[in-house]
Amino acid sequence: MKLKNSLTSCAFAATLGALLLAAAPTQAQDKSFGFYAGYAFLHSDDGNLNGVRLSPEYRVTGPLAVVGDFSAEFGTLADTDTTLLTFMGGLQAKKSFGGAAIYVHGLAGGVRTSSSITPFKGVSISVSDTGLGLDGGGGLEFKLSRFKMRVGADYLRREVDIGGGKTENVGDIRATVGFVF
């Protein structure tokens, strides 16, 4: 039930943001294709992860774009070496104001979590799990010379296997900074 409510809330927020940005008069539109590449920082209750985030986008009409979002974050969560891979897609709405723009997006897809621990020298225990992921957020873009700099923050909700055939929803904050080409 919680996952259904989260999905509904994420879809509502993305639709509302897209409608608000679409209703505002638009200035000159950017090119149809764009590509974001940058650094990603994920904060969880159990620790922090660092990595890379890549996001191709195709502008459908006005401020609305279809985006893919792929990230890989690495680090230690709850004293285990952890790798978090996300592969998502969704909608993004952007509104330009001169050399700057704001954007919001709603994404859904998969999140693969791989963790390993070495309790004794030469002995390693590893587990991995893939579950549903929902991501909603936004940020700012600043036009530089031939590309743009982007800073943003997201709320990533992911499904985690807790054993015994049960899953739990975990919410994390993700920050990103990079360039749009």
Long-range contacts from 118-121, C-beta under 8 angstroms, 24+ separation: none
Tokens in use for 31?
């090119």
Domains, the chain, with CATH or none: 2-180 (2.40.160.20)
> Quick one: pLDDT at residue 121?
87
> Quick one: pLDDT at residue 9?
44
Find the DSSP H helices in the chain.
Answer: 2-23
- CA 38 centroid distance within chain: 12
> Quick one: pLDDT at residue 94?
95
Query: Digits of tens for pLDDT over the chain (181 positions)?
Result: 444 444 444 444 444 444 444 444 443 445 799 999 999 999 988 899 999 999 999 999 989 999 999 999 999 988 889 999 999 999 999 999 989 999 999 999 999 999 999 888 888 889 898 999 999 999 999 998 888 999 999 999 998 877 788 888 899 999 999 999 8
> Quick one: pLDDT at residue 164?
81
Q: If DSSP codes are grouped into helix, strand and coil, which group holds residue 64? A: strand
> Quick one: pLDDT at residue 23?
40
Give burial (CB, 10 Å; 0-12/13-18/19+) of 126: exposed
pTM of the model: 0.77
Q: Name the strand (E) or helix (H) holding 138.
A: strand 123-143
Beta carbons within 10 angstroms of residue 156's beta carbon: 23
